Structures are given as structure tokens and as C-alpha cells.
Copies of this chain bind each other. A is one copy, B any other.
Amino acid sequence: MRYELYYWPGLQGRGEFVRLALEEAGADYVDVARHGETGMKAMQSELTSTERVELPFAPPFLMAGKHLVWQTANILQFLGPRLKLVGGSGAKRIFTHGLQLTIADLVAEVHDTHHPLSTNLYYEEQKDAALIRAGDLIDSRLPKFLDYFERVLTNNPHGDVQLVGKGLSYVDLSMFQLIEGLHYAFPLGMSGFETLYPRLAALRTHIAQRPRIKAYLKSKRRIPFNLSGIFRHYPELDRPPKKNHR
């Protein structure tokens, strides 16, 4: 099975969560829109189809044989069993998906730190609002989410470097990406991370050392973080948390 991933070229974005799963599994896939104009046209044509019943709303979407799947968490839920990146039981899959959707919520909030008012305005046109929203993320939202994820690791009776059950699942890869992105965007905002969230820090190290992920991160397939993605480093938006929430 050759998977076709459709996502905007030039940025990691939400596509990166899918790429990490495909890379970890050593799956055969093509990143369609990164293959020149033809790829972009193919993507646009799917998004504007007047015939396709299972019409995708936005990239990323995945073609897998007869299936077209979109929404990042939906794609990962679809790939999970196929790439052996999720537990076998229904309860584990529901739990893994719940965690993935919670990561997706935080990712949307991170996006809104640089675009709190409108995606149709440049960041420079909404800088004052961005400053307030980014401060709120650092002081309030990140602690809320990261505390929660740390507690999930703590409560896992099978070990604390994976979020669900005994083995690696796709949500661990997404958690790695989230932590990497947050460190890129908010190096000051994330100060104290290793001390406050030792299990999340260990998960991050653990994933970075997996052979296929390590090779992928060094490869040209890994687009560097940049100012087009979801995680953006604007130094003026970054500062240490105002108070320790604990």
C-alpha cells in the first residue's frame, strides 16, 4: 500500500503529525504537494471536486486505496492499526484518539497566538492581540494541558514514557512534535519544562532516539520549523511564565 499524503509544501503544519507516523512505521508514502506544480494541482482538484462524495475540507488529507481520510486526528486513527501504532483494544483506541484530539486543540490554540484576530490579516497587523494571547498560553493554557498530559503518563501503570498501554502509539509521536514545536516557538515560555514535566521530557528524548525518527529528523524530508507553520518563533511573543502555577 502506497499512501498519498496531501499537505501544503514548505511548512510542517498539521501534516507533520501524519508524516511522523508514516516515518516511524517505515511506510511507503508520497508527499504529493511537495512534488511541484502537478502535486499542488492534484491537491486543489480534490478540494474543489463537484463529484467526490467524501469531500475533504482542508489539508492534510490522505489517500489510501479507496479511502480518502481527512482531519489530522482522523487520519492517525485510520493509520494506527494499519501501521501498528495503536493498541488492539477498543478502549485503548478510544483513549488514544481522545488524547490526539486534545493535542489538536492545543495546536489550534498555539496557532491563534500569532493569529488571534483573523487568518486573513498578517501577524504584524495583530501583534498587540497576539502578545496578550501568547502570554495567556504561556501562563495559563500550557500549564493546564501539560499538567494533564504529565498526569496521563503518571497514571499509566505500564510505564511512563508512553501515553497509552505498554507500547509506542501514534499519539506519542504527536506529543513529541508538540513538545518540539513549543520549544521552538517559546524557548522562554517553556523554561522549567524538564523539572515540571519529567515524564514528558523523557518521552521527548525517547522518541527522538528511535532509529527511524532520528534518521527522518536529519533527512531533507523534515522541513525545518519556520515562520509559515503553526509553531512560529516571534521573540516578542516569548517570555518566561509569570508565575509558577503549581
Which residue numbers of A lie inside 8 Å of B, CB to CB? Answer: 49-57, 66-67, 69-71, 73-74, 77-78, 90-91, 94-95, 97-98, 101-102, 105, 108, 112, 116-121, 126, 129, 132-133, 136, 140, 145, 148, 151-152, 154-157
Contact = CB atoms under 8 A, between A and B. Distances in A.
Most buried by B among A54, A119, A133: A54
Give how many copies assemble into the complex. 2
A71 B71 CA distance: 15
8 contacts: A51-B155, A55-B151, A67-B91, A77-B97, A105-B108, A108-B108, A119-B136, A121-B136
Most buried by B among A51, A55, A67, A136: A55
Most buried by B among A50, A117, A132: A117
Given A66-B91, A108-B108, A118-B133, 16 more contacts: A50-B154, A54-B95, A54-B98, A55-B151, A55-B152, A55-B155, A67-B91, A78-B94, A117-B133, A117-B136, A118-B132, A119-B136, A119-B140, A120-B136, A121-B136, A126-B132
B155 A53 contact: yes
A101 B101 CA distance: 9
A101 B129 contact: no
Contacts of A132: 117-118, 126, 129
Contacts of A69: 94, 98
